[in-house]
Amino acid sequence: MSKNGKLIFKNFDPYITSTFGNRINPITGKNQFHQGVDYGTNDKKLAQYAIEDGEITGCGTDSTGAKYVYVKYPRLGKTGLHYHLDSYSVKNGQKVDSNTIIGYTGETGQATGIHLHFGWFKTENRNKAWNDKGWEDFEKYEYTLPISYLGSPVQRNEEVSQYEITVSNLRVRKEPNGEILGYINPGFYNILEEEQRDDYLWIKISANMWVAYSEEFGNLYLKEENIEDNDDDLEEENTEKEEEKDDTSKEDDENNTTDDDNANDTSSKNSFFKRFITIFLEIVQKILKFFKIL
């Protein structure tokens, strides 16, 4: 598989059929310098795209019958050549971007099968002769995404959960830890969804826009009702503890009541015994008095 081929085919990863540099020309059989990289597509006529924002600086059919398109990339200072096209979908002077279809893979001109010959050189050499353009190996080119800032910050709103982003270099991705789309504009964003992945909490702030959370990147704010819910839970917990305390007090009161009843029973028995002794002594005294009279 290739390193940079997917930049051209977007949703397809092509394979290299012939590298940049010296090779045996499959048409002439001679050892010649190959001034581009050939990408195979399994004999399918697939769409080819512009790499990024650019401009068409030439298109047509050369003397060998090969259809071609030149695309200039101002940010990169480079020009790409799409060669052996089956057909092309652009015109000279047209502005293009990464969603623009340049044409479809073919085998026009001197080709042994369906493939893309892709050439790469400095734009300043555009008007020089073919062999003087300073062709480069596209597979060795280190492509970096353009720095683009995305997202529309909102006002602080305590009624919704929000993520305040305080740095200017936080990347926006199409999905958690997925394709990088650019950088996020600092500010407040409503939290639409959360997902824990790869040691990061990923937060969805818009359709197909996710950013990672860290204390280094910004601050999280819970919506007000979440805080109230926590307070309600705490109050409910305290109420349960108070009820448990009341139940314990009731049990103590019941135990104390039982002890008092036992004490009352004992006191009643002692009182009855005292009255019995008193009556018995009175009777004994009356009997003694009776005998003294006699």
- The count of other CB atoms within 10 Å of the CB of residue 72 is 17
Q: Is pLDDT of 287 > 70? A: no
**How is the chain split into domains, by residue range?**
6-140, 149-224
- The pLDDT value given to residue 3: 94
Answer with the residue of higher pLDDT: 267 or 177: 177
CA-closest candidate to residue 123, choices 79, 71, 68: 79
123-154 pLDDT tens trace = 999 999 999 999 999 999 999 888 889 999 99
Q: Is pLDDT of 243 > 90? A: no
Q: How many residues does the chain have?
A: 294
**Fold of the 149-224 domain:** SH3 type barrels. (2.30.30)
Domain 6-140 classification at class level: mainly beta
Q: 294 falls in which pLDDT band (50, 70, 90)? A: very low
- The pLDDT value given to residue 293: 42
> How would you classify residue 60: left for phi > 0, otherwise alpha for psi between -120 and 50, otherwise beta?
left
Q: What angle (nearest 5°) sits at the alpha carbon of residue 91, between those of residues 114 and 40? A: 15
39-49 pLDDT tens trace = 999 999 999 99
pTM score, whole prediction? 0.58
Share the mean pLDDT of the chain: 86
- The pLDDT value given to residue 113: 95
